[in-house]
Amino acid sequence: MALKIAVLSQKGGTGKTTAVRHLTEAFREAGLRVLAVDLDPQGNLSDYFDIDPEADPTIGDVLGGRATMADAVHDDVVPANLSLAEAELTLAGKMGRELTLRKALAGVDADYDVIFVDCPPALGLLTVNALVAADYALLSSEAQYFALQGVEQALEVIELARDSLNPSLVWLGVLFNIADMRTVHSREAFESLKEHVGDKLLEHSVRQSIAYAESAERAVSIYEHRPDLGADYLRVAEELLRRLELGEARRRVAALLPDAA
């Protein structure tokens, strides 16, 4: 069975989709079969992977009962578009609505080692579906003073999913994103988060750079566009693989780092 990781934040602009894009690729470089599911009606992850905007079916069709998950896989990505917002409204009136994604993913479970789900930047029904389907929850937090508030709100939703429908859900950690650790502001925000969440805060953070927007516009990864910045995500991937106890994959990622022996 695939390990399913829901990546979420309580608002936009935390680098969440960029994280899913590059963790997916890093895990693939580690030899893992990885599926990326775009669960955001904005479809930014689909664009970043350069999936055809006319790709059909999409995750909206899956959640709406018009297609299977296997049919919606395009180059190991399940894309999204604005039709997902309509599917969410339809879901709201259904019995067992929180279980819809879990049931759909069962159809591709045996085909992958890891499934990343990029949640929308809101803690609504789609995010709850992702958390009920997931084994792990990874929070993305930006480097600013309200980061702790956002993490606490996301944790409340994780606890709700765990208490009601998914008691085995594990909080994997918090990724400190879009950070300029040269500034006092970012360093203080990091320390504040660390004080409250302890070792759940990942040791490695991701630097702020316009290069990520450039790579997204060109639909290429940061590893290709700016390999020096890509090392940040390789370090994050290595740390996550260690937490997931995937030792062989972790060693393969470590070998890709610029400071590898």
Lowest mean pLDDT among 29-43, 133-147, 181-195: 181-195
Average pLDDT over residues 200-223: 86
Q: For residue 57, is the peptide bond before it cis, meaning its omega torsion is within 30 degrees of 0?
A: yes
Which residue in this structure is represented by tokens 């809101």? Answer: 122
The β-bridge partners of 175 are: 140
Specify the pLDDT at position 182. Answer: 59
Return the amino acid letter for 249.
A
CA distances from 153 to 9, 122, 148 (A): 9, 10, 9
Six token digits for residue 43 = 């479809």
The per-residue b/e assignment along 85-104, b for 16 or more CB within 10 angstroms, e otherwise, is: eebbeebeeeeebbebbbeb
pLDDT of 102 strictly over 70: yes
pLDDT digits (tens, 9 = 90+) for 6-30: 999 877 777 889 999 999 999 999 9
Q: For 152, how many CA atoms within 13 A lie in the half-sphere containing its CB?
A: 9
pLDDT digits (tens, 9 = 90+) for 52-97: 999 999 999 999 999 999 999 999 999 999 999 988 888 888 888 9
CB atoms within 10 A of CB 141: 30
Specify the pLDDT at position 9. Answer: 86
Q: Are 230 and 22 in contact (CB under 8 A)?
A: yes
Q: Are 240 and 23 in contact (CB under 8 A)?
A: yes
**What domains lie within the chain, and their CATH numbers?**
3-254 (3.40.50.300)
